[in-house]
């Protein structure tokens, strides 16, 4: 499989998807630290995906770009 891996450092001309949900919100009795950890994990993942250019014939793979989870 041919995975997309080329990055563009320039601002790309089209936005395909934009995040709109709240990252911090009251969720019953859950520990707010879990939400902070989620935000940290999203920030780390975004660094691996930001600027990826998917060319014709290439496949976007979240796990190929991010890698295996770590502690």
Both structure tokens of 62 = 């979240």
Longest Cα pair distance anywhere in the chain, in angstroms?
46
Cβ within 8 Å of residue 61, ≥6 positions away? 1, 3, 4
CB 4, CB 52: distance < 8 Å: yes
What pTM, to 2 d.p., does this model score?
Answer: 0.66
62 vs 69: which has the higher pLDDT: 62
The tens digit of pLDDT for each residue in 5-53 reads: 999 888 878 777 777 788 888 878 888 898 899 899 889 888 888 889 8
């Amino acid at each position: 499989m041919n995975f997309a891996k080329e990055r563009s450092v320039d601002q790309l001309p089209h936005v395909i998807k934009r995040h709109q949900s709240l990252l911090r919100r009251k969720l019953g009795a859950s520990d707010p630290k879990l939400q902070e950890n989620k935000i940290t994990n999203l920030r780390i993942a975004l660094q691996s995906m930001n600027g990826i250019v998917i060319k014709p014939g290439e496949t976007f793979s979240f796990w190929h770009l991010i890698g295996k989870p770590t502690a």
